[in-house]
Amino acid sequence: MPEQAEKITVALSSIPNTGKTTLFNRLTGAGQNTGNWPGVSVEKKIGNFPLGEYEISLVDLPGAYALSPVTEEEKIVRSYFLKTPPAVILNIVDAGNLYRSLGMTLQMSTSGLPMVVAVNMIDEKSKLDIALLSSHLGVPVIPISARSGRGLPELKQALYEVINKSERTHVPHISCPPILEKAARELSGKIIPGGPLEKMDSNFLAMRLLEEKTPSDAILKTGLGNFIQLWRDRIEKSTGETIPITCAKCRFNAARGLVIEVTGQKSNPPNKQTERIDRVLLHRWFGLPLFLLIMFLLFQAVYGLGAPLQTYVGQGFDVAESWLRLQSSIARQSDWMQSFLFDGLWQGLGVVISFFPIIALFFIFMSLIEASGYMARAAFLMDNLMHRLDLDGKAFINLLLGYGCNVPAIMGTRILSSHHSRVVTILLIPFTICTARLQVFVFLSTILFSTAVAPLILFALYLGSFIVIVLTGFLLKILHIGGRPEPFIMEIPPYRMPTLTNVALRTWQELKDFLYRAAPLIIAGVVLVWFLTHFPANVPAAGAETWAGRLGHLFSPLFHPLGIHWQETVALLFGLIAKEIVVGAMAVIYGGDLSNQVFQHISPLQGLSFMVFTLFYTPCVATIAAIKAESGSWKITLFSLILGLVIAWLASLVLYQTGLVLGFR
Amino acid sequence: MKQTKEHFKQNPGVECIIQSLGADEKTAQRLAQMGVLPGVTLQILRIAPFGATVEVSVGGGQSFALRKDELTALNCRIVAMPLTCPDLHPEIAYRIRSLSGGKKFQQRMETQGIHPGLFIKITNTTMPGIVLQLIDQKKTVTLGRGEAEKIIIEVIDA
């Protein structure tokens, strides 16, 4: 029977911070698929659940305040409604703050599409006249608690009934200035909605065209461009403001009246508990030290716990490898086949698996911070510093966590509030010193420098990383990479207890995502490096005769001015797999006792130049894969790759040549 | 002159009514679609550590963070402010709107004759304390900054 079930698309839509994710998780459980909306770094989630004889496909739309978009997320929501209208809209509103929620609810309810409104009673005490709200909106309204699951059977029942009887009986009318109403009336008479838009109210479509002519008209193909523009000009001249603002005023006038009727109150009592917590956490003097303490604990929790786990996983992998090598079916294979299996595929798999512990820990703690409401506070505290780079304050957390590992830090950018912030942060994270890079620096600086100088070298590298992040941030700002920043008006939600289900599902999703979206690219990258360093056949691996060695020689005119020999160029190539193996690769390439070899072949200045290059060029294939998966764009991925190489080359060049001029060697 | 005025507006405890949505179209649209519209009352809750970012609550419910420039663009009309606000005019009479401290604080103020609804004038702010003239009772009271911070006064429309 499940195969024959009719598939019904329901769109879950609301403004941010209403408990939408909790409801989505409640309804669909673990049966979710995530991806990106086409062309943008905004997450798309779809979950399925059975409802009577139907199979519901629930689309989790990004949080949006209105259908005339300001943000990237809202553009997605608008296009979704106009291009592929769902069979039913499921809207969730926050009972504790009805006024804020109702603007969007009213706008969606005028669409004429079948709709169900779930009132999330986050605060159990709120008293609402549900029946009155329902009759005003012209759609069923069901009180629920997304957190406890109360009211969900009734919500499903209401959904079921709306699917069976999809004609709306009443579409609310929001009164607007007469000239706007007249324009909408005239325009709606000329639109003949066809295809998927048939069920939509023509007045609603007319409003879409008036509020935001350019893309809406392209989607609706009315051919009424000039007619619409004429009315728009007349209306804006008469009201003295843009149409979306006029419409928002009308909606919120209606919402204000509705709230008073439904709750009997004019405004919400302030949240006492949140006020008390914020008096400490956002304190004028203690706020920042507390934030830094929380960040320190976060960093420790993710990497302090994650690093040993990573080691265990690595050891397990080695044990499995030695066992596999003994298996007769594998031992029978030719040498190069075995090399391909173990040094290529198996190592690639090992790189993928090694990220699991830190990604899991990262998202467990990040979801706790996000769901509790502290993330918005962190952004508030750091806003002024990050604003100088046109970033929001949350980006600070991602950059900071990049100093542990770039991969989860980049995956975590989806927490950021705007497309612009996400792209810029993704491009900046690769310039942090992750723990793998740190290993290379510690190793080389202890060999090449005295114990007194080595720590200073490390400090200088951290400083260099920081300076490059700030300078690149300004560069990206000037170049407008990632588009224009969106207006910064951030909601600061009340503190809430995170739910275990949300945290667990989130972490599970991220691991699954990493496996599906990043892992193939990582393994492909590792195999490519294996190929370059092991072929042509019958030459010593990683030697001068391999493709990698030849590449090293080929690029030597480029690397010579940096004081980097072809052997190290090959090591840098290996470094693409993971920075942890750079040192090991040098051991293979130089042969013999590595410390001695390094000491003989590389001067301190050359070593420093090599470290600077290592600091700024591409962190590893896993980072590239994460950038591709997160940005959903090859253009951004390629840009990041080139940006890293160019900055690494320039920084090393300036350092090495200045050093030579100053008489160092 | 303008600077002191803005400074005065963006003090924690200040309550004001939005009069415009500012010139930046995108920001104005964002605010409007969040229900932050002319006529709505804003209360300034706190200023972020490096300044420039302000947390406000709208209509007593939702809190938002926005930047000082954006707040300035809202051209708010002040309706109430704490006694510690700089450049309160010494000659003007104000009315006490509320006492934001706890019960003990309110009782202590009551014993000094300070309670909501009272008309006052500020006579001296240069001293470490703030000297209040209680107009109806024809006496003066000296308050510490910590106390004055919790007393919200409102402008009396002439």
CATH number of the domain to which A256 belongs: 1.10.287
Give the per-residue pLDDT at B1.
33
From the list B26, B59, B60, the residue facing A70 with the nearest CB is B26
Residue at A545 is within a domain: yes
The Cα of A433 is separated from the nearest Cα of chain B by a number of Å equal to: 27
- Greater confidence (A490 vs B102) lies with A490
Residue A3 has pLDDT above 70, yes or no: no
As a whole number, mean pLDDT of residues A84-110 equals 91
Which residues on chain A place their C-beta less than 8 Å from a C-beta of chain B?
A: 65-66, 68, 70, 96-97, 99-100, 103, 241-242, 244-245, 248-249, 252, 255, 267-270, 278, 282, 284, 287-288, 376, 379-381, 383-385, 387, 393, 486-493
What would the two tokens of residue B38 be? 């002319």
The Cα of A493 is separated from the nearest Cα of chain B by a number of Å equal to: 7
Which residues on chain B place their C-beta less than 8 Å from a C-beta of chain A?
A: 21, 24-37, 45-53, 55, 57, 59-67, 70
Tell whether A160 and A22 lie within a shared domain.
Answer: yes
Q: Look at chain B and count its residues.
A: 158
Query: How big is the A-B interface in CB pairs under 8 Å?
Result: 125
Number of domains in chain A: 3
Residue A122 has pLDDT above 70, yes or no: no
| Domain boundaries, position B47 | 2-81
The Cα of B89 is separated from the nearest Cα of chain A by a number of Å equal to: 27
- Greater confidence (A208 vs A481) lies with A208
Tell whether A24 and A74 lie within a shared domain.
Answer: yes
- Greater confidence (A577 vs A591) lies with A577
- Inter-chain CB proximity A384 and B49 less than 8 Å: yes
What would the two tokens of residue A585 be? 């690769």
Tell whether B77 and B108 lie within a shared domain.
Answer: no
Chain A contact probe: residue of B17, B18, B30, B33 with most A CBs at under 10 A: B33
From the list B49, B55, B67, the residue facing A288 with the nearest CB is B49
User: Rounded to an integer, what is the distance from CA A471 to the centroid of its chain?
Assistant: 23
Mean pLDDT of the residues in chain A: 87
Residue where a domain terminates, one of B81, B114, B142: B81
Residue where a domain terminates, one of B24, B55, B81: B81
Tell whether A72 and A187 lie within a shared domain.
Answer: no
Residue at A354 is within a domain: no
B128: CATH: 2.30.30.90
Residue where a domain terminates, one of B81, B96, B118: B81
Tell whether A76 and A218 lie within a shared domain.
Answer: no
Q: Contacts of residue A489 in chain B, CB cutoff 8 Å?
A: 27, 30-31, 34, 36, 64-66, 70
DSSP class of residue B76 equals P
CA B155 to each of CA A558, B11, B115: distance values in angstroms, whole numbers, following the listed order? 71, 15, 16
Query: Residues in chain B with pLDDT < 50?
Result: 1-5, 7
Tell whether A195 and A251 lie within a shared domain.
Answer: yes
From the list B29, B46, B55, the residue facing A245 with the nearest CB is B29
Residue where a domain terminates, one of A242, A263, A284: A263
**CA angle (A373, A375, A379) in 5-degree steps:** 130
Tell whether B111 and B135 lie within a shared domain.
Answer: yes
- Inter-chain CB proximity B29 and A287 less than 8 Å: no
Residue where a domain terminates, one of A263, A298, A326: A263
- Greater confidence (B124 vs A501) lies with A501
Judged on CB neighbours under 10 Å (0-12, 13-18, 19+), B51 is exposed
Number of domains in chain B: 2
- Inter-chain CB proximity A70 and B37 less than 8 Å: no
- Inter-chain CB proximity B48 and A376 less than 8 Å: no
Tell whether B34 and B104 lie within a shared domain.
Answer: no
The Cα of A78 is separated from the nearest Cα of chain B by a number of Å equal to: 14
Sheet holding A489-492, edge to edge: A489-492, B63-67, B53-58, B41-47, B15-17, B77-82, B151-155, B93-99, B119-124, B130-134, B139-143
Tell whether B73 and B133 lie within a shared domain.
Answer: no
Sheet holding A43-51, edge to edge: A32-36, A43-51, A54-60, A6-13, A88-94, A115-120, A141-144
Q: Which among A420, A51, A49, A47 has a CA at the least distance from the CA of A61?
A: A47
Confidence of residue A1 (pLDDT cuts 50, 70, 90): very low
In B, minimum Cα distance to A378 occurs at B48
Tell whether A11 and A133 lie within a shared domain.
Answer: yes
Tell whether B65 and B27 lie within a shared domain.
Answer: yes
Residue at A405 is within a domain: no
A103: CATH: 3.40.50.300
Give the per-residue pLDDT at A612.
94
Residue at A509 is within a domain: no
Judged on CB neighbours under 10 Å (0-12, 13-18, 19+), B22 is middle
Q: Are A145 and A133 in contact (CB under 8 A)?
A: no
Tell whether A154 and A184 lie within a shared domain.
Answer: no
Tell whether B75 and B101 lie within a shared domain.
Answer: no
Tell whether B29 and B49 lie within a shared domain.
Answer: yes
Tell whether B77 and B104 lie within a shared domain.
Answer: no
Report the alpha-carbon distance of residue B48 to residue A392 in Å, rounded.
14
Residue at A274 is within a domain: no
Report the alpha-carbon distance of residue A80 to residue A9 in Å, rounded.
12
Q: Contacts of residue A242 in chain B, CB cutoff 8 Å?
A: 25, 28-29
| Domain boundaries, position A201 | 178-263
Q: What percent of chain A has pLDDT over 70?
A: 96
Q: Contacts of residue A384 in chain B, CB cutoff 8 Å?
A: 48-53
Tell whether A527 and A644 lie within a shared domain.
Answer: yes
Highest mean pLDDT among A165-179, A497-511, A578-592: A497-511
Q: Which among A466, A476, A457, A460 has a CA at the least distance from the CA of A432?
A: A466
The Cα of B105 is separated from the nearest Cα of chain A by a number of Å equal to: 17
In B, minimum Cα distance to A18 occurs at B62
From the list B29, B48, B57, the residue facing A242 with the nearest CB is B29
From the list A96, A244, A380, the residue facing B65 with the nearest CB is A380
Tell whether B55 and B125 lie within a shared domain.
Answer: no
- Inter-chain CB proximity A100 and B62 less than 8 Å: yes
Give the per-residue pLDDT at A64.
92
Give the per-residue pLDDT at A364.
92
Tell whether B18 and B58 lie within a shared domain.
Answer: yes
Tell whether A536 and A580 lie within a shared domain.
Answer: yes
As a whole number, mean pLDDT of residues A498-521 equals 86
Tell whether A533 and A645 lie within a shared domain.
Answer: yes
Tell whether B67 and B113 lie within a shared domain.
Answer: no
Confidence of residue A266 (pLDDT cuts 50, 70, 90): low
CA A131 to each of CA A124, A141, A142: distance values in angstroms, whole numbers, following the listed order? 18, 7, 9
Report whether the peptide linkage leading into residue A536 is cis, meaning its omega lies within 30 degrees of zero: yes
Tell whether B87 and B56 lie within a shared domain.
Answer: no
pLDDT in tens, A361-404: 988 998 898 889 898 999 899 988 888 888 888 889 899 889 98
Residue where a domain terminates, one of A231, A263, A295: A263
Residue at A374 is within a domain: no
Q: Contacts of residue A249 in chain B, CB cutoff 8 Å?
A: 32, 37
Confidence of residue A13 (pLDDT cuts 50, 70, 90): very high
